[in-house]
Amino acid sequence: MHTTIIIASYNKPQYLQLVLDGYRKQSNLNFDVIIADDGSTEETKTLIDKEKATYPVVLKHIWHSDKGFRKCRILNKAISAAKDSEYLIFTDDDCIPLPNFIENHLKYASPNYFLSSGAMRLPQNLTDYIFRNGYNAIKFNFAWLHLHGLPKRLKYKRFYWSSFARILLDYFLPVKKTFNGNNTSAFRADIIKVGGFDERMEYYGEDVELGYRLIHSGLKVRRVRHRARAIHLEHTRGYITDVMISNNKSIIVNTLKNKRSFTKHHIDFNSEFK
């Protein structure tokens, strides 16, 4: 099944480098990568161009100019550009995938479902350690992460329990099953059927709102939070405003109240974006 990873990015080349390193090391390399770039400076393009020379899979860069927070629009452009893919996996430029990330998304993908996952958020001191030492220094186990700053809490420990225990956690933990843009996947046709991301939306819940429309269209949700795993590097979020959040909440409320399954606020998915 032809698959594309869509990585949303904005002016975080140091983070993006680590994330791209993570996709180099996947147990399954049967995928393409599209960087959906919401107006980053030349530094991000330089990094991507350098990576393309030796990257083990097809790596594309979809960019538009910086006119404020237009993540939904650039994600829709990336969806349009992934014309040859049946399946899409969405993530962010601050989420490093574990080596079996792709393998597990594809293992549990099935028609009439989208997969709901997330990412384990790292504290700033551990994020800084990874920046100083690079991807190859990371050991994906709780002991190593705890040694370098991860708190000793159950929610972090169980991220590294046995595969069977993690399957049970995904079935029985009372965690809401939502479309989380930092780690989620669906069939491309299902995304296009509901209109993709609503381009009126800025920061806050723009991914979750899409998930509600997928559910209203008849899809079910499978939680893979403890199987398709990623770790989240810490960073500031200076681009958030109260107006963004208020506007997005209104759209989400409307989607839920009216059981909307489609938005007309999107690009033409037949357009060409390179």
Residue with tokens 């452009």: 77
Q: What is the pLDDT of residue 163?
A: 93
Q: What is the pLDDT of residue 267?
A: 82
Q: What are 95's strand-pairing partners?
A: 232
Segments in the chain forming alpha helices (H): 13-24, 42-52, 71-81, 101-108, 124-133, 142-147, 154-157, 163-172, 188-193, 206-216, 242-257
Q: What is the pLDDT of residue 274?
A: 52
User: Residue-wise pLDDT tens for the chain (274 aa)?
Assistant: 999 999 999 999 999 999 999 999 999 999 999 999 999 999 999 999 999 999 999 999 999 999 989 999 999 999 999 999 999 999 999 999 999 999 999 999 999 999 999 999 999 999 999 999 999 999 999 999 999 999 999 989 999 999 999 999 999 988 889 999 999 999 999 999 999 999 999 888 999 999 999 999 999 999 999 999 999 999 776 667 888 899 999 999 999 999 999 999 888 887 765 5
pTM equals 0.95
Question: Is the Cα dihedral 133, 225, 11, 8 positive or negative?
Answer: positive
Domains of the chain in sequence order = 3-257 (3.90.550.10)
CA–CA separation, 228 and 119 (whole Å): 9
Of 270, 172, 169, 180, which Cα lies nearest the Cα of 227?
Answer: 169
Of 124, 8, 125, which Cα lies nearest the Cα of 61?
Answer: 8
Helix (DSSP H) and strand (DSSP E) numbers for the chain: 11, 10
Going by their DSSP bridges, the two strands 3-9 and 32-37 should be labelled as parallel
Q: What is the pLDDT of residue 241?
A: 85
Residue with tokens 């330089």: 46
Going by their DSSP bridges, the two strands 183-187 and 87-92 should be labelled as antiparallel
